[in-house]
Every structure is written in structure tokens, then in C-alpha cells.
């Protein structure tokens, strides 16, 4: 298991400092509009916290595969508005990520302000982790924060190079991802099996009947989004179910609201229903999306019990005291 000791935002004094923040804004777009803002929303906590602490926030990201060329349709400029809306404050934009244009934009930043630089991959040196390109990026900041776990497996200038050039720390999303994996390490040590997908169904956009393909979980293309688990993953889950006595289900497996990305959820729900009907499994499910998914699969009444609650369902299962229930006990 790799070492996960790392610095976080809690270890930094960012007031007045220029903070280069690597995020992943490689979001699905159509006709110049963002069709799924999940990655933008997940970048917000780190950017907002840094701005609130008085940092001069400089956002770095790639978009698509322009192969080191300036491709207008792969510009990050269309993301200024949705990022600004998500942050609840204006976001400035620089037409380049290095050189005079970027340097001038950075000089104009005041504490608490946010600047988005142009697509890193407009420069071929980014993916080559070129020392000269790292130099040009590093002069823009005093501190480096990596909040792009999804790009952490690549030794590029903005992911690996800068971390070795400037004081560095993990952003909140990166921190959450790493700590979640360390939870996985504890599960392994406790001989608790955690089933992760081995393949996935990917598509270029969040749309019913969008063209899709099944890929290995470690080979998802940068310009695609995962919308469902793949057939090998489903087979793995169903096989594991046959050895289970009890199942607690919260949350669908994919974008069950649109076809064909409901396939994973439906297949697993039907397997659970069969085992429950055969008396081999006690199945309990809860949560708004879960109820909707099971209803869509036509098996809502074939589980042992389906709760309409979400958070309350999980907390009660954890053994936590629910204020609303405690009040009734006191009243009695």
C-alpha cells in the first residue's frame, strides 16, 4: 500500500500568497455548454477555502487532448461562467497558462480573487513534464495545491513537476480521495472485502442512448465519463451475493435515470430480488435514488424491506441516535 502521509490546506499559510491549484475541469461539453458540472462542483471547496483565507487563487487544468496545439473548441474560457456560478464570485481568465499573458493576469490578482488559466495541454511540454515548462508555471505561484486526484497517475508538469518545485499540499478533494483509499487499507487489514468495479460503461455526454463503450476501469478516456459499471463488474457482484446472508443497499450503480446506463443497477437489483424471493438473502434498501432505481427495475416490492429515508436510514443502521426518534422516546 503506498504511503499516504501528505500535507493539506491545514498546513499552509496562504494569506496574500499566490496559490497554484491543479484541478480537473475536463468536463463534458456540448455546443460550448457544460452538460455535467460534477467536476466543477467538486473543485469548489478547495478554491473557496483558499479564497476565503486571502490567497490569490490561480487555477490550472487540462481539457481534452489538443496534442500541444491551440484548439479553440478545447479552450477553458467557456468554463469561466459555470465556475464563477459555482464559487459565487467572479473568476478572471488568462488566454495562456504561461508567459506574459498569464504573468500579467497573476500580477493583477488581489487577495481572495480567483484566476483560471488557459488549457495546460495547449503546450506539448505539459505532458512531457518538461523542466522548462515547469519553470514557467512555477514563477506564477508561491505555493502549489493538487486537487486533481483523477490526473494524479500522470507525471505531467502540473501534477508531478510543480509538486517538486514549490511548497505543496493536497486540496480537499485530493485529501478526501486519499483518506478514503486509506480506509480501504484498514478494510483489507480487517479481512473485510471491498468490491470495486473492474470495468465501466463510458460515454462522451450525459444523455439517453448516447454512444458508449465498455472499458477497463483503469483505461477510461479523458474525454469520456463513467455512467455505469460494466458487465464484468456486475458478474463479480452477483457472484459475491450468492455467499451473502444480508444486503444493505444505498445508492444506484450508475446513471439509472437514462438508458442504457441503468443496466448495471437493474441487473444487480434483479439478482437481489431473485435471491430474496428464494429465501437466501435478507435485503434492505434505502434512499430516494435507491427507491427510484428499484422501482424502475420493477423489484421494489421484492426486497425484504425498502426504506424511503436516505441519511436517516444509514445513520440508524450505524446505531446513531436520531433526534427525531429520541424526541418520541422522551415523549413516551
Residue 237's CATH number: 3.40.50.1260
Could you say which residues of the chain have pLDDT below 70? Answer: 1-4, 327-332
Same domain, 260 and 311: yes
297/299 Cα distance (integer angstroms): 6
Same domain, 37 and 167: yes
Nearest CA among 68, 52, 61 for reference residue 23: 61
> Could you tell me if residue 82 is inside a domain?
yes
Helix%, strand%, coil% for the chain, nearest 5? 40, 15, 40
Give the pLDDT score at 328: 64
Domain of 263?
195-318
> Could you tell me if residue 299 is inside a domain?
yes
Same domain, 155 and 223: no
> Could you tell me if residue 144 is inside a domain?
yes
Same domain, 30 and 139: yes
226/213 Cα distance (integer angstroms): 10
Give the pLDDT score at 300: 87
Burial 121-138 (b: 16+ CB within 10 A, else e): bbbebbbebbeebbebbb
> Could you tell me if residue 42 is inside a domain?
yes
286/209 Cα distance (integer angstroms): 28
Same domain, 222 and 142: no
Domain count, the chain: 2
Give the pLDDT score at 237: 94
Same domain, 167 and 224: no
pTM of the predicted structure, to 2 decimals = 0.67
Euclidean distance between the first and final Cα of the chain, in Å? 51
183/205 Cα distance (integer angstroms): 31
Same domain, 146 and 262: no
Amino acid at each position: 500500500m503506498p504511503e499516504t502521509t501528505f500535507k493539506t490546506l491545514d498546513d499552509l499559510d496562504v494569506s496574500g500568497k499566490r496559490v497554484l491549484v491543479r484541478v480537473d475541469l475536463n468536463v463534458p461539453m456540448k455546443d460550448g455548454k457544460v452538460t455535467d458540472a460534477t467536476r466543477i462542483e467538486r473543485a469548489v471547496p478547495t478554491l473557496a477555502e483558499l479564497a476565503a483565507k486571502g490567497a490569490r487563487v490561480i487555477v490550472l487544468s487540462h481539457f481534452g487532448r489538443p496534442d500541444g496545439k491551440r484548439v479553440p473548441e478545447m479552450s477553458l474560457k467557456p468554463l469561466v461562467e459555470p465556475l464563477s456560478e459555482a464559487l459565487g464570485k467572479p473568476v478572471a481568465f488568462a488566454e495562456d497558462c504561461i508567459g506574459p499573458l498569464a504573468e500579467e493576469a497573476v500580477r493583477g490578482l488581489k487577495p481572495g480573487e480567483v484566476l483560471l488559466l488557459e488549457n495546460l495541454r495547449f503546450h506539448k511540454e505539459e505532458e512531457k513534464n518538461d523542466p522548462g515548462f515547469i519553470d514557467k508555471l512555477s514563477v506564477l505561484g508561491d505555493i502549489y495545491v493538487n486537487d486533481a486526484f483523477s490526473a494524479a497517475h500522470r507525471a505531467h508538469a502540473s501534477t508531478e513537476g510543480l509538486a517538486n518545485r514549490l511548497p505543496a499540499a493536497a486540496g480537499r478533494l485530493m485529501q478526501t480521495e486519499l483518506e478514503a483509499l486509506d480506509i480501504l487499507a484498514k478494510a483489507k487489514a480487517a479481512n473485510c472485502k471491498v468490491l470495486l468495479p473492474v470495468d465501466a460503461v463510458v460515454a462522451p455526454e450525459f444523455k439517453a442512448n448516447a454512444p458508449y463503450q465498455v472499458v477497463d476501469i483503469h483505461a477510461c478516456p479523458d474525454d469520456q465519463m463513467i455512467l455505469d459499471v460494466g458487465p464484468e463488474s456486475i458478474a463479480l457482484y452477483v457472484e459475491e451475493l450468492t455467499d451473502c446472508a444480508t444486503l444493505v443497499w444505498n445508492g444506484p450503480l450508475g446513471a439509472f435515470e437514462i438508458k442504457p446506463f441503468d443496466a448495471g443497477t437493474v441487473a444487480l437489483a434483479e439478482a437481489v430480488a431473485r435471491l430474496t424471493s428464494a429465501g437466501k438473502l435478507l435485503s434492505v434498501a434505502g434512499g430516494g435514488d435507491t427507491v427510484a432505481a428499484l422501482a424502475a427495475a420493477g423489484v421494489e416490492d421484492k426486497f425484504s424491506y425498502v426504506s424511503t429515508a436516505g441519511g436517516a436510514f444509514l445513520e440508524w443502521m450505524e446505531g446513531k441516535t436520531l433526534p427525531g426518534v429520541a424526541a418520541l422516546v422522551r415523549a413516551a
